[in-house]
């Protein structure tokens, strides 16, 4: 092992000491908590199921190995080496790249806004779970109490609770409606909880993370054990994991696997750089990167087993209800004795009746019941949590307890991701010294949380859900891809591969091997570029539309497909470009400053020049 020369000390460390993690476990848990978020629960299982079950794991693992782990290692290494937040790190690497840090901060800010709004929804459901029967188990009666509210009757009690009693959603994005005070106070509570945990930076998040990072695993295990004992769970799991190899020929699968790994690890936010900057410089960041990335992927798999056993139970339940409804229609129409047709006899009896009395049978509202149809009705994102899972929980004995556990788990999952987002904003601001020295850290974190809360109130409007989808689809993905590409290229080609490898050798004791060298130089930048191009092409191909909840729609309860109006489209473009614009703007500013300085120098010494 060659004695690596000590690198020059990172500037700014002499003097005021930097906070440190109390122990390695805090640091690892914080990174794991940041990486493991809501997407592991509601995005990965959906992708796994849509893209051929077990076969999806192949592109997923390939993306993890060639894109996820190398990029992750880069972030941890530069954060640990340069010991600053994202703005400081990129300014230190090259002043022309300082816009990258500013862009990361802006992006983290935008993402925090809507991420915490989702947590506010989770909190609202959590608070409503402490009652029996659960409020989404039945429709409310209408005004003269002869039937149920029409909107609820047409869709379902669960959908009604989500769209009407929680969001109170309007039928169009143009129609903003009023602020929902219930969601507003939940949002205020969420930001208060976030402030309480990040108030003194890693000193407080380090303590909070012990609970918020481990509680989800406990609940997932409980759900897994419970889910596997429910009837129909195995059907769900078999359906999920049966590999359909031919689906790998669809390029969309590879694109989605790559983007999933990328967003799942929360790369390019600057949060991991911030966490790593509080490490001692001689920490083995390579091992950390591999461990955290693997834990993240294992968690996704673990969660999908739990989720799909519950969804299998739900599908079996719905299938049996469908059959029972049909059987009841037959019994009522032909006045057979009660419970005289069992579920197994039903097809034979139906056949017999259709041949003997076709007209009467044709008049009945009989639905075709296939288990696969119900298993196919999966969902991703908020739809999974707030509609599909809440309905599944209703059928489990002891429903309120399960609902409390489930939403508690979602809340702690999202909270630990929020810590990473907030550190990605606060650490660079602290390092930059935007507020004078005498202002305590608590004030800075308080101001940031307050600014975020006030900006996020737009999501508590009645059209807030539509705006949240816009933020989710446009603010994050494109910018993250560009930033990640610039990160890799900036470190490898601007900072210098040799210098970087020397740093890593000094920090971890070993030089990076050929795998790292190859992925950093060639494979990861190429992959990122390909994904970016594919993403933009897909985006340009599809017309910008959204699906609105419109009770007046003739195909209600299907969501109505509407195009975004012009001003909304402009907002989408702005959101996609705003964080990225920092990069050229900062580079330009730096160029002008340099130009002005050399011009001024030339003025001072006019003739000592080889020009």
Partner 1 sequence: MLWLLFFLVTAIHAELCQPGAENAFKVRLSIRTALGDKAYAWDTNEEYLFKAMVAFSMRKVPNREATEISHVLLCNVTQRVSFWFVVIDPSKNHTLPAVEVQSAIRKNRNRINNAFSLNDQTLEFLKIPSTLAPPTDPSVPIWIIIFGVIFCIVIVAITLLILSGIRQRRRKNKEPSGVDDTEDKCENMITIENGIPCDPLDMKGGHINEAFMTEDERLTPL
Could you give the dihedral angle defined by the CA atoms of residues 314, 315, 317 and 318, in that order, rounded to the nearest 10 degrees? Answer: 120
- Using CB under 8 A as the binding rule, whether residue 447 contacts partner 1 is answered as no
Residue 364 DSSP label? S
Shortest gap between Cβ of 116 and partner 1 (angstroms)? 14
Q: Shortest approach of partner 1 to residue 413 CB, angstroms? A: 18
Alpha-carbon Rg for the chain, nearest whole angstrom, is 27
CB 299, CB 31: distance < 8 Å: no
Instruction: Choose which of 130, 211, 493, 515 interacts with partner 1 (CB under 8 A).
Output: 130
Contact 254, 260 (CB under 8 A): no
| Per CB under 8 A, 23 contacts partner 1 | yes
Binding mask 226-255 for partner 1 (x = CB under 8 A): ------------------------------
Least distance (Å) between residue 7 CB and partner 1: 8
Q: Position of tokens 């929360």? A: 266
Confirm or reject binding of residue 433 to partner 1 (CB under 8 A).
no
Check binding of 14 to partner 1 (CB under 8 A).
Answer: yes
Tell me: does residue 212 bind partner 1 (CB under 8 A): no
Q: Per rule CB under 8 A, is residue 355 in the interface with partner 1?
A: no
Q: Residue 362 interacts with partner 1 (CB under 8 A)?
A: no
Which residue from 10, 62, 350, 379 is in contact with partner 1, where contact means CB under 8 A? 10
544 contributes a contact to partner 1 by CB under 8 A: no
The backbone torsions φ and ψ at residue 545, rounded to the nearest 5 degrees and listed phi first, read -140, 165
Question: CA-to-CA distance for 44 and 421, rounded, in angstroms?
Answer: 21
Give yes or no for residue 192 binding partner 1 (CB under 8 A): yes
**Cα–Cα distance between 249 and 231 in angstroms, integer?**
34
4 binds partner 1 (CB under 8 A): yes
Question: Is 140 one of the binding residues for partner 1 (CB under 8 A)?
Answer: yes
- The answer to the question of residue 128 lying near partner 1 (CB under 8 A) is yes
The whole-angstrom separation of Cα 86 and Cα 266 is 14
DSSP secondary structure string for all residues of 447-491: HHHHHHHHHHGGGGBTTHHHHHHHIIIIISHHHHHHHHHHHHHII
Contact stretch for partner 1 (CB under 8 A) within 89-97, 280-288, 559-567, 579-587: 280-288
Task: For the CB of residue 121, give the shortest distance to partner 1 in the complex, in Å.
Answer: 13
CA 157, CA 153: separation in Å to the nearest integer? 8
Quick one: tokens of 326?
């049909």
Binding positions for Na(+):
33, 35-36, 40, 264, 296, 413, 417
Q: Residue 48 or residue 273: which is nearer to partner 1 going by CB?
A: 273
Q: Which of 193, 261, 415, 492 binds partner 1 (CB under 8 A)?
A: 193
Judged by CB under 8 A, the stretch of 100-108, 146-154, 162-170, 467-475 that binds partner 1 is 146-154
- Among residues 281, 382, 414, 579, which is the contact residue for partner 1, using CB under 8 A? 281
Question: Of 549, 495, 544, which is closest to residue 520 (Cα–Cα)?
Answer: 495
Burial class (CB in 10 A: 0-12, 13-18, 19+), 457: middle
Helix axes 233-241, 202-229, angle to 10 degrees: 110
User: Rule CB under 8 A: which of 323-342 touch partner 1?
Assistant: 331-332, 335-339
Name the minimum Å distance from CB 583 to partner 1. 29
Which 49-88 residues touch partner 1, going by CB under 8 A? Answer: 83
- 258 vs 399, beta carbon nearer partner 1: 399
**Both structure tokens of 337:** 């004795």
How far is the C-alpha of 295 from the C-alpha of 316, rounded, in Å? 32
**From candidates 13, 345, 376, 601, binder to partner 1 by CB under 8 A:** 13
The answer to whether the CB of 587 falls within 8 A of the CB of 96 is: yes
Least distance CB 336 / partner 1 (angstroms): 7
In angstroms, what is the minimal distance from the CB of 130 to partner 1? 6
Read off the DSSP letter of residue 171.
S
| Token pair listed for 482 | 């560009």
Q: Answer yes or no whether residue 442 interacts with partner 1 by CB under 8 A.
A: yes
Does position 1 interact with partner 1 (CB under 8 A)? The reply is yes
The encoded tokens of residue 162 equal 């989500």
CB of 187 to partner 1, least distance (A): 12
* Residue of the chain from 61, 127, 301, 364 that contacts partner 1 (CB under 8 A): 127
- Out of 58, 184, 189, 526, point to the residue binding partner 1 (CB under 8 A): 189
* Using rule CB under 8 A, residue 483 touches partner 1: no
409-421 burial, b for 16+ CB within 10 Å, e for fewer? bbbbbbbbbbbbb
Question: The tokens of 584 are what?
Answer: 């050229």
Helices 524-541 and 477-489: crossing angle in degrees, nearest 10, is: 160
* 474: Cα within 13 Å, side-chain hemisphere: 22
End-to-end distance of the chain based on CA atoms, in angstroms? Answer: 47
Residues at the site binding partner 1, with contacts judged by CB under 8 A: 1, 3-4, 6, 9-10, 13-24, 83, 124, 127-128, 130-131, 140-141, 145-148, 185-186, 189, 192-193, 195-196, 199-200, 203-204, 280-284, 331-332, 335-339, 440-442, 508-509
């Amino acid at each position: 092992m060659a004695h690596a020369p000590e690198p020059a000390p990172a500037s700014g460390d002499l003097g005021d000491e930097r906070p440190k993690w109390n122990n390695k476990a805090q640091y690892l848990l914080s990174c794991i908590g940041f990486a493991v978020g809501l997407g592991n629960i509601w995005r990965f299982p959906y992708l796994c199921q849509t893209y051929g079950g077990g076969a999806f794991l192949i592109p997923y693992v390939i993306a993890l190995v060639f894109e996820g782990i190398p990029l992750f290692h880069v972030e941890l290494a530069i954060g640990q080496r340069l010991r600053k937040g994202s703005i400081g790190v990129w300014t230190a690497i090259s002043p022309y790249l300082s816009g990258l840090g500013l862009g990361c901060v802006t992006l983290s800010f935008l993402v925090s806004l809507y991420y915490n709004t989702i947590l506010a929804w989770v909190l609202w459901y959590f608070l409503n779970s402490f009652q029996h029967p659960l409020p989404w188990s039945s429709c409310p009666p209408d005004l003269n109490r002869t039937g149920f509210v029409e909107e609820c009757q047409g869709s379902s009690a669960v959908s009604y609770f989500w769209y009407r009693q929680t969001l109170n959603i309007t039928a169009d994005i143009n129609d903003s409606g009023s602020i929902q005070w219930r969601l507003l106070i939940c949002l205020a509570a969420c930001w208060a909880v976030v402030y309480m945990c990040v108030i003194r930076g890693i000193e407080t998040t380090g303590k909070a993370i012990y609970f918020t990072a481990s509680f989800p695993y406990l609940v997932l295990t409980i759900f897994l054990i419970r889910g596997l004992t429910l009837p129909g769970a195995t059907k769900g799991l078999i359906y999920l994991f049966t590999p359909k190899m031919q689906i790998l020929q669809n390029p969309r699968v590879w694109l989605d696997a790559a983007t999933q790994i990328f967003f799942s690890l929360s790369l390019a936010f600057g949060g991991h750089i911030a966490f790593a900057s509080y490490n001692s410089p001689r920490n083995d960041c390579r091992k950390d990167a591999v461990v955290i990335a693997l834990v993240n992927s294992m968690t996704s798999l673990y969660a999908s087993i739990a989720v799909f056993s519950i969804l299998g139970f739900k599908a079996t339940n719905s299938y049996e209800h469908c059959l029972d409804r049909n059987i009841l229609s037959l019994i009522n129409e032909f006045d057979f004795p009660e419970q005289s047709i069992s579920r197994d006899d039903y097809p034979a009896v139906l056949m017999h009746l259709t041949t003997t009395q076709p007209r009467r049978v044709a008049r009945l509202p009989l639905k075709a019941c296939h288990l696969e149809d119900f298993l196919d009705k999966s969902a991703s994102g908020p739809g999974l949590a707030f509609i599909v899972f809440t309905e599944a929980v209703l059928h489990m004995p002891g429903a309120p307890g399960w609902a409390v556990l489930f939403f508690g788990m979602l809340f702690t999952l999202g909270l630990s991701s929020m810590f990473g987002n907030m550190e990605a904003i606060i650490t660079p601001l602290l390092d930059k010294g935007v507020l004078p020295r005498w202002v305590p850290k608590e004030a800075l974190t308080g101001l940031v949380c307050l600014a975020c809360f006030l900006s996020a109130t737009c999501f508590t409007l009645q059209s807030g859900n539509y705006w949240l989808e816009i933020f989710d689809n446009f603010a994050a993905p494109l910018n993250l891809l560009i930033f990640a590409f610039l990160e890799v290229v900036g470190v490898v080609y601007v900072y210098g591969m040799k210098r970087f490898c020397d740093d890593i050798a000094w920090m971890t004791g070993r030089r990076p091997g050929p795998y790292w060298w190859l992925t950093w130089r060639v494979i990861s930048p190429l992959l990122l570029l390909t994904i970016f191009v594919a993403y933009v092409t897909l985006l340009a191909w599809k017309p910008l539309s959204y699906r609105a909840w419109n009770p007046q729609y003739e195909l209600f309860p299907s969501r109505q497909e509407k195009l975004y109006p012009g001003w909304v489209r402009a907002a989408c473009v702005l959101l996609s470009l705003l964080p990225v614009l920092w990069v050229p703007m900062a580079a330009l500013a730096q160029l002008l400053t340099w130009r002005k300085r050399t011009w001024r120098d030339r003025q001072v010494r006019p003739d000592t020049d080889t020009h």
